[in-house]
């Protein structure tokens, strides 16, 4: 057996013993990162090229430091993003939310769609929409200075920075100059109930920034605020998508009543067939 692959097998066992949810994948990703190859190319690394740094990285992952903090990169749809301490690591589940938003924008009879990404974090959502809806103009709103630095870094490095405007602002008052004009608002807000801190993985609890996680006793404080924000920013017929946690899909639709001008409020599922995000539209005039 190739020496590196033998080391990967050993690392897999170590990560599994540490409770890492995807030990084989993470062991391979770390090996690929350390040796500067893709996962599928690990068999090409010669025994003489083995780098002992690999075991330092494995030890960090076994201590439940996020894989993405160790490698400094996260993958999201068609993007490779820079991430690290101070920013929420984008999750695969959010790709479904963005896919719905992109399909919705493409179906609109709007030449240059105007979009807001509220709580932009790493910039994953804003960049994906700018990339996949070529004439869109995206406003990325982020209040936390640490996360904002990562968003700017990724947006500045993208080929679509000219159509993304970054704002350091509280979403509750942001974009006053665009009130009633936005075609789409999208947000992956904090939605973890404060009482659930002991239940979430240490990679999340100990490393993702608190402002991106905690949202009151039921986890819906930020969603309640988004109702007023969406009502303020969206044009008649505009759409909104909000990601949420497991079990919250039952409670969120009632927060967007018809009496407040909301229509077509629906829960959408992720690839595991769990309610993952809620979508709605502003009533037409």
Determine how β-strand 262-269 pairs with β-strand 275-282.
antiparallel
Q: pLDDT band for position 45 (50/70/90)?
A: confident
pLDDT per residue as tens digits for the range 93-123: 999 999 999 999 999 999 999 999 999 999 9
pLDDT at 48 exceeding the cut of 80: no
3-state secondary structure of 44: helix
pLDDT per residue as tens digits for the range 72-99: 999 999 999 999 999 999 999 999 999 9
What's the CA gap between 43 and 154, in Å, rounded? 31
3-state secondary structure of 177: helix
What's the CA gap between 33 and 67, in Å, rounded? 10
What residue ranges in the chain does DSSP mark as E strands? 73-76, 79-82, 114-118, 137-142, 164-168, 182-187, 234-243, 262-269, 275-282
Q: For residue 258, with 0-12 CB atoms within 10 Å meaning exposed, 13-18 middle and 19 or more buried, which class applies?
A: exposed
- Domain range list for the chain: 3-63, 77-81+85-282
3-state secondary structure of 30: helix
**184-202 mean pLDDT:** 92
For residue 138, which phi and psi values (nearest 5 degrees)? -115, 135
CATH 1.10.357.10 at 77-81+85-282, yes or no: no
More confident residue, 4 or 249: 249
pLDDT per residue as tens digits for the range 254-265: 999 999 999 999
pLDDT at 155 exceeding the cut of 60: yes
User: Is there a contact between 231 and 263 (Cβ–Cβ < 8 Å)?
Assistant: no
- pLDDT at position 270, please? 84
Which residues sit in the known binding site for S-adenosyl-L-methionine? 119-123, 142, 188
Which residues sit in the known binding site for substrate? 188-191
Which residues sit in the known binding site? 119-123, 142, 188-191
User: How high is the mean pLDDT of the chain?
Assistant: 94
- pLDDT at position 187, please? 98
pLDDT at 1 exceeding the cut of 60: no
Q: For residue 108, with 0-12 CB atoms within 10 Å meaning exposed, 13-18 middle and 19 or more buried, which class applies?
A: middle
């Amino acid at each position: 057996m190739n020496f590196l692959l033998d080391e990967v097998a050993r690392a897999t066992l170590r990560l599994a013993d540490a409770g890492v949810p995807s030990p084989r994948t993470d062991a391979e990703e770390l090996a690929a990162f350390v040796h500067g190859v893709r996962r599928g190319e690990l068999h090409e690394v010669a025994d003489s090229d083995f780098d002992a740094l690999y075991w330092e990285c494995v030890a960090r992952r076994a201590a439940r430091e996020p894989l993405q903090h160790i490698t400094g990169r996260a993958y999201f749809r068609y993007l490779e993003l820079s991430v690290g301490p101070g920013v929420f690591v984008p999750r695969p589940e959010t790709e479904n939310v963005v896919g719905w938003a992109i399909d919705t924008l493409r179906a609109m009879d709007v030449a240059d769609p105007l979009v807001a990404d509220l709580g932009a974090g790493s910039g994953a959502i804003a960049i994906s929409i700018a990339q996949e809806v070529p004439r869109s103009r995206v406003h990325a709103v982020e209040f936390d200075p640490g996360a904002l630095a990562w968003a700017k870094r990724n947006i500045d490095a993208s080929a679509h920075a000219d159509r993304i405007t970054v704002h350091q602002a509280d979403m509750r008052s942001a974009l006053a100059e665009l009130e009633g004009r936005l075609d789409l608002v999208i947000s992956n807000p904090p939605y973890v109930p404060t009482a659930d801190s002991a239940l979430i993985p240490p990679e999340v609890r100990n490393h993702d920034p608190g402002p991106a996680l905690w949202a009151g006793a039921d986890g819906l404080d930020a969603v309640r605020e988004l109702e007023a924000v969406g009502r303020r920013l969206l044009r008649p017929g505009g759409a909104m998508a909000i990601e949420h946690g497991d079990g919250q899909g039952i409670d969120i639709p009632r927060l967007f009543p018809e009496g407040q001008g909301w229509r077509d409020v629906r829960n959408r599922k992720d690839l595991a067939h769990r309610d993952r995000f809620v979508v709605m539209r502003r009533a037409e005039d």
